[in-house]
Amino acid sequence: MPGSAGVRIFSRMSRLDVRPFAADDIPSAGRLLAQRHRRHRLAQPLLSARFEDVEVAVEAVRAAFEADDASGAVAWRDGEMVGYLLGAPKPSPLWGPNVWVEAAGQAVTEADVMRDLYGVAATRWVPESGFKAQYVIVPATDQELVRAWFRLGFGQQHAHGIRGLPTGPPSPTKVVIRRAARADIPTLAQLEVELPAHQGLAPTFSAGKVPTVEENIAEWEEDFDDPSYATFVAELDGEVVGSAVGCALSKSSSHAGPASVDNAGFLGFAAVFPSARGAGAGRALGEAVLAWAAESGFDCVVTDWRVTNLLSSRAWPALGFEETFLRLHRLVGY
């Protein structure tokens, strides 16, 4: 795998050797990932225990290494690996000329080592490949690691959250929740415009494409009867004002590797028309998906949100979701 020359950093402790990631580094990196995930689960026990298994963690690192155009760095001290970093681009115009460090793409024994790893890996990512839009998935509970990334110029863009199943009845509300019917498709299509349109505004400024209502109607007509998805609508004074969709987390490609959770439901979509916001429709829809997940036999529920979206970043933590992973972002050269 092509990459930049390694560097040696001297300290009062012992020499830190940092060099590009190679295939022979996968087993040691897998052990570090398993250790990281074990620490993570002490704070977030709902996460999958599978990645505490070294063999499973090794395969997750191998998949990250074998991704198209993947590259990274490793750090060794006194014959022991003390950190690794792996990233790869995603072929999508939405993200720009990008590189992603997914949930299995990093682990360190000392948080500050990540800055040295990035110093080597980013030489390949930026000067050589032009990957100026950079995204990193970091365990939310590792504040020292998060701080190390902040000191590299990254900021938080997104959050993954998890919570257990509800143990009591939903909150009392004047909003009526029911399963969607085919007659709701035109309204469902309009609501699917509302979320990306809202996220294009301040303070989120998302570059995501806003689909047309006609495009959404065509998709809903084709997929409405798919039993893998549960769609709910919220009615206020007899009118549909919001919708939400639940499914298995395995349907989401954004929750991979250690960020995947066994037998988890997923709150995949929720939107409320601006005129009805503040009436409790969003919370009622979220609670409907939670109840559906419990009835469907899932063990917990996962969702994710843009932290700059003031509505979702307040609604989902208020519903009991705790941050598990943070997506950090840096745009280099501006």
Query: Which run of H or E residues covers position 223?
Result: helix 213-223
Cα–Cα separations (whole angstroms), residue 248 to 151, 202, 266, 326: 36, 31, 5, 21
Q: How many CB atoms lie within 10 A of CB 57?
A: 27
Report which of 138, 3, 149 is spatially closest to residue 70, judged by C-alpha positions: 3
CATH of domain 164-323: 3.40.630.30
Residue 208, amino acid: G
Contact 102, 142 (CB under 8 A): no
Domain extents for the chain? Answer: 7-153, 164-323
3-state DSSP assignment of residue 246:
strand
For 302-330, what is each residue's pLDDT tens digit? 999 999 999 999 999 999 999 999 999 99
pLDDT recorded at residue 93: 77
How many residues are recorded in the chain? Answer: 334
Cα separation, 58 vs 103, whole angstroms: 13
For 132-157, what is each residue's pLDDT tens digit? 999 999 999 999 999 999 999 999 99
Cα separation, 35 vs 323, whole angstroms: 20
Report which of 28, 136, 115 is spatially closest to residue 76, judged by C-alpha positions: 28
Cα separation, 137 vs 101, whole angstroms: 6
pLDDT recorded at residue 63: 98
Cα separation, 27 vs 131, whole angstroms: 27
CATH topology of domain 7-153: Aminopeptidase (3.40.630)
Residues in the chain, pLDDT under 70: 1-13
DSSP 86-149: EEB----TTT-SEEEE-TTSEEESSTTHHHHHHHHHHHIIIIIT---EEEEEEETT-HHHHHHH
Cα separation, 269 vs 261, whole angstroms: 18
pLDDT recorded at residue 10: 47
Dihedral angle, C-alpha 190, 194, 196, 201, nearest 10 °? 150
CA 66, 71, 73 angle in degrees (round to 5)?
Answer: 120
Cα separation, 38 vs 35, whole angstroms: 5
Domains 7-153 and 164-323 share a fold: yes
111-133 burial, b at 16+ Cβ within 10 Å, e below that, comes to bebbebbbbbbbbbbbeeeebbb
Contact 286, 301 (CB under 8 A): no
In the beta sheet, which residues pair with residue 331? 133
Sheet-wide strand order for 7-9: 7-9, 16-20, 71-77, 80-87, 106-108
Cα separation, 183 vs 327, whole angstroms: 37
Question: Mean pLDDT score of the chain, rounded to an integer?
Answer: 94
Q: What percent of the chain has pLDDT over 70?
A: 96
- Is the pTM higher than 0.95? The answer reads no
pLDDT recorded at residue 119: 97
